[in-house]
Structure 1
Amino acid sequence: MNKKIIPRRTFIKSSALLGAVSVFGTGCMNVSNSKAEKTGEGNRKGPNMVFVFPDQMRRHAMGFMKQDPVITPVLDDFSKESIVFTHATSTHPLCSPYRGSLFTGLYPHQSGLTTNCHSTRKDVYLRREAITLTDILAKNGYDVGYIGKWHLKTPDEGKGYKGPWIPREDRHGINFWYSWSDKHQNNFNPSYWKNDAQQHELIVPGRIWSAIHETDVAVDYIHNRNHEYRDDNNPFVLFVSWNPPHDPYTKDDVPEKYYDQYGDATSRELLNRDNVIYSKKTERAAKHARGYFASVTGIDDQFGRILQALRAANLEENTLVVFTSDHGEMLGSHELMTKNQFYEESFGIPMLMRWKGNLIPRMDDLLIGTPDLMPTLLSLLGLENGIPDNIPGKDLSKAVLNKKDAHRPEIARYYNASNNARGLRTHDMTCFFERNNNKSNDFLFNLKEDPYQMNNLAEEMPHVLKEFGIETRDWLNSVKDDFSNYKKERSYLNTIPT
């Protein structure tokens, strides 16, 4: 077995840029924004961006990756024109924490979004005073549109996870607003608030798959006929946040035309990963695999409609297109379902970027995590001077642009305040420390020799575990994370082996 690891001094060099941060009592990091204040309206001719992120789509669920037996002809073709980031990760693979990091460049304990927004979790929401990606875009002359699931505000009392109405002052510079009210993941009976509609003024489009309807709106936004959606004199950024392929995955939750494309495929043919062990625990995955992949195929089809709209509107050359997801889906691997796990099926996400004439299409193993997206995207759009000071997210635009002097991280962080684990991923290995309910589990996997993470080497290779433990503890100290869960019940920092 190859026991070579990256020396700790390399890790320390990689993490030295993080620096110390200060945190408000509300849980929102105090970020100096001196550079952002200087940018003003100076980027009105910048490129556009369309950022598409379906919910719960794993990296393996793209046909060109040759892993899941999924039908994605649009993404297969798009990948030939794009950078495919083969090692992109969701730092905290859960909806609200991901979105908090995407928009702020912060870790969950800094953004205040340490778990999913829920009516019983009053302190879990995106702070009004937070400096976000969309705030900076708006400040610099961009029209900003948002379509679909928001999932960054505490729902009303007794509403559970139901999407709440968002007042304009909490929309962070977004000037076209089309927010899904999230009726308990009901993909065929969606309802929406548009722009300044009051809480009772919902748009109910009837029985239509939510992703199809939201794509209808996105296509209209791109074409912008009659100047209804944005100012044609301004560059624009459009976020499209589809709920599918989020569960439920029954036949009734996805259009029949996508479901039927999988013919008579059996669950064993669909769940082809070596770490799917058939047992009582995986019955749900076996039952719903076809629905999940059918939803992915539906998303692929809708993404094609967005690309076609850009083409028809002659916007392809000046538009950065990003396709990614907030986290993956276990789908029976390791006898688990859904997300919020450190395994690759949950932690690993699709990420493709296309900007014709500016980005060289390729497969790229850049270790890019969620907090890195905000500064990287701003820099790609020419707004590097607007990146807030002291955020832990790193500007990786030089690596994206394939420049020789680019910083390429040697680790990606894993942060989970819900299941309470912390850890890291290198190109070759993953290491995680899970602490919850008086349980103490350490995990170490060699991804080169064990890509399905079935052989835990923590006891066999204690020296490697210790090296990663020291690095993880140094990182947690640098960002003032005491390694506790979102309820702050106790700190586990001193339990990491060092």
Structure 2
Amino acid sequence: MAFALPSRPNLLFLMADQMQAAVLDDGNPCLTPNFAALQARGIRFTRAHTPNAICSPARASLMTGLLPHNHNVWTVTHTVRPDRAVLRPARHWAEELRQAGYRTGYFGKWHVEHTEEPGRFGWETSATAASPQVLEAVGRAGQRMSEGRWQHEGWLTPRPGYTSHRFCGVTEVPPEERGLGIHVSNAASYLADVTTGQDPWACFVSVLEPHDPFFTGREAFDRYNGVDVSVSPTLRDNLIGRPEIYARARAPWRDWNEEDHRNAAVCYYASVTEIDTLFGRLLDQLEAAGQADNTIVVLTSDHGEALGAHGLYCKNYGAGEEIYRVPMVLAGPGIKSGRESDVLVGLQDLHPTLLDLLGLDSPENPDSSSFADLCRADSEQLADDRCGYAEYEGTRFQLTQRILWEGDWKYVFNGFAHDELYNLADDPHEECNLLADSDQGSAEADRLLSLIWGRIKETGDLTLLNSQYPALQIGSVGPEAAL
């Protein structure tokens, strides 16, 4: 609901790609001093989840507030023909800001829909990763990287018919001269302009890191000398009771030893540290311009990264928390500082939340709900009715999944294998699937699946809703059991 503001706030939206929420957790070895400072003056939601495990669907949900089955971007747009994964007409929150008189600028990775034209969706100024001038600059940096000296490389040995990949490594090219720095520099130039004007503004900075391959610079990598970086505790998980495709997906890393996995983790964390450094400069610029007190800052990512959990990397297979839990920090006017909340929120919920925080009306839809009141609260408010929800249809290989979080419970409906049920309080690393022996599990499992059917029905997920055909009755309970 809109509310009166003495001066309409600005918005600085900082978005990483494939950055898992754990990098902000207490005790994690990742070095992020600027993110920690931002959290100290705002609120962090420790149980924020993406509605989808891959880039385009998650980003389209962020922009529209809709789940993928409603905005229609089911997969990454660069892998399908232009007539597939077409974004349906839906009002983006940037369009609402433009209508309210905001100046809007978008810089970096877009990957929301096929055209790569943010201007069609409310962004007045843009320089995306697909812009000719950006491509040229990034191309020059890439050439220097390929011709330059590499250290701490992690190569994957391909099986016949597949190409080899440098999955991680340390380059001599500093981040300021790579894509990361180019996008942040473009945003900094934009901020230098809009912060001198009278109009409210919104600046979205979207970097491609720490998405694989995990490339980082020497300076950031060396900061981890003496830092205790361990491999995932589930790296050697036997995956008993989990879908067989998860084990198949570990094949590219089959020859790696413990040191290879640790090296990949250090490269990943160092890449995050580079993001922290460059985003920190934007925050310093905001402070120097005297606009920090009237600017809402958001830090998040489109999805996470497995980073060796259960022997997996990337995000294409598995419903693990490493993939679905994303960082979520908000700070600025009206937001209480120095707080953490374990209330379940989703990336798509940012659509109504941002509009609420900026004093604008937010549309109502069953796919997302504002958590602005939680940002403003002096203390944690009861929100026991909030569940987390995500949906996945695979990438190149179709793997239907629907995921529900409720309290400590997590239920994964698998349309291609037996389902998964975890109690995250008892089993935070998801090593014991409570439905391993049978999908005809407990009354608790049936209740959670009924809640999934409820979300499917409430949000109009017609494909799964129309599964009364006898050959499709694979659940322990069906659509009519919806709660």
TM class by smaller structure: 0.7 to 0.9
- In structure 1, what is the equivalent of residue 409 of structure 2? 429
When normalised by structure 2's length, the TM-score is 0.78
Residues 345 and 386 of structure 2 are in contact (CA less than 8 Å); yes or no, is this contact kept in structure 1? no
1:189 to 110, 131, 141: 141
Q: Distance in 2 between matches of 1:79 and 1:230?
A: 23
**Structure 1 position 365 matched with structure 2 position 351:** no
Residue 74 of structure 1: how far off its partner (Å)? 1.3
- In structure 2, what is the equivalent of residue 158 of structure 1? none
**Structure 1 position 106 matched with structure 2 position 66:** yes
Residue correspondences, number: 416
Structure 2: segments with no counterpart, 5+ residues: 144-174, 238-249, 478-483
Structure 1: segments with no counterpart, 5+ residues: 1-34, 155-163, 192-205
- In structure 2, what is the equivalent of residue 244 of structure 1? 209
When normalised by structure 1's length, the TM-score is 0.76
Q: Which moved more, 1:356-365 or 1:179-188?
A: 179-188
Q: Distance in 2 between matches of 1:190 and 1:372?
A: 36
Q: Distance in 2 between matches of 1:108 and 1:344?
A: 19
- In structure 2, what is the equivalent of residue 54 of structure 1? 16
Q: Distance in 2 between matches of 1:151 and 1:354?
A: 26
Residues 187 and 205 of structure 2 are in contact (CA less than 8 Å); yes or no, is this contact kept in structure 1? yes
Residues 82 and 359 of structure 1 are in contact (CA less than 8 Å); yes or no, is this contact kept in structure 2? yes
Paired-residue identity, %: 29
2:372 to 392, 397, 405: 397
Q: Distance in 2 between matches of 1:185 and 1:86?
A: 36
Q: Distance in 1 between matches of 2:139 and 2:413?
A: 36
Residue 483 of structure 1: how far off its partner (Å)? 5.3
**Structure 1 position 327 matched with structure 2 position 303:** yes
- In structure 1, what is the equivalent of residue 110 of structure 2? 150
Residue 68 of structure 1: how far off its partner (Å)? 3.3
**Structure 1 position 81 matched with structure 2 position 30:** no
Question: Deviations for 1:42-72, whole angstroms, at most 9, x for unmatched residues?
Answer: 989410011111100000113xx13432111
1:222 to 187, 191, 215: 191
Q: Distance in 2 between matches of 1:245 and 1:113?
A: 23
Q: Equivalences for 1:197-216 in 2 at 5 Å?
A: 208-216=177-185
Q: Equivalences for 1:70-469 in 2 at 5 Å?
A: 70-125=30-85, 127=87, 129-154=89-114, 165-166=116-117, 168=119, 170=120, 172-181=121-130, 189=141, 208-224=177-193, 232-249=197-214, 253-263=215-225, 270-277=229-236, 281=253, 283=256, 285-340=261-316, 341-356=318-333, 358-383=335-360, 385=361, 387-402=362-377, 409-418=385-394, 419-436=399-416, 440-459=417-436, 461-469=441-449
Kindly tell me: are residues 145 and 190 of structure 1, through their superposed partners in 2, closer, same or farther at Cα, counting changes over 3 Å? farther
Which one-letter code corresponds to 1:388 in the other structure?
A: P
Residues 50 and 348 of structure 2 are in contact (CA less than 8 Å); yes or no, is this contact kept in structure 1? no
Kindly tell me: are residues 315 and 409 of structure 1, through their superposed partners in 2, closer, same or farther at Cα, counting changes over 3 Å? farther
Residue 122 of structure 1: how far off its partner (Å)? 2.6
Q: Distance in 1 between matches of 2:118 and 2:456?
A: 35
Which one-letter code corresponds to 2:188 in the other structure?
A: V
Residue 463 of structure 1: how far off its partner (Å)? 2.1
Which one-letter code corresponds to 1:413 in the other structure?
A: Y
SS in 1 for 2:418: strand
Q: Distance in 1 between matches of 2:183 and 2:353?
A: 26
Q: Distance in 2 between matches of 1:481 and 1:92?
A: 14
Higher strand share: 2
Question: Deviations for 1:468-495, whole angstroms, at most 9, x for unmatched residues?
Answer: 111111221222214569xx9x999742
Q: Distance in 2 between matches of 1:351 and 1:389?
A: 22
Which one-letter code corresponds to 2:212 in the other structure?
A: D
Residues 188 and 208 of structure 1 are in contact (CA less than 8 Å); yes or no, is this contact kept in structure 2? no
Q: Distance in 1 between matches of 2:385 and 2:289?
A: 37
**Structure 1 position 497 matched with structure 2 position 476:** yes
Residue 87 of structure 1: how far off its partner (Å)? 0.5
Question: Deviations for 1:191-222, whole angstroms, at most 9, x for unmatched residues?
Answer: 9xxxxxxxxxxxxxx99121112212222222
Residues 328 and 349 of structure 1 are in contact (CA less than 8 Å); yes or no, is this contact kept in structure 2? yes
Q: Distance in 1 between matches of 2:434 and 2:217?
A: 43
Q: Distance in 2 between matches of 1:166 and 1:493?
A: 40
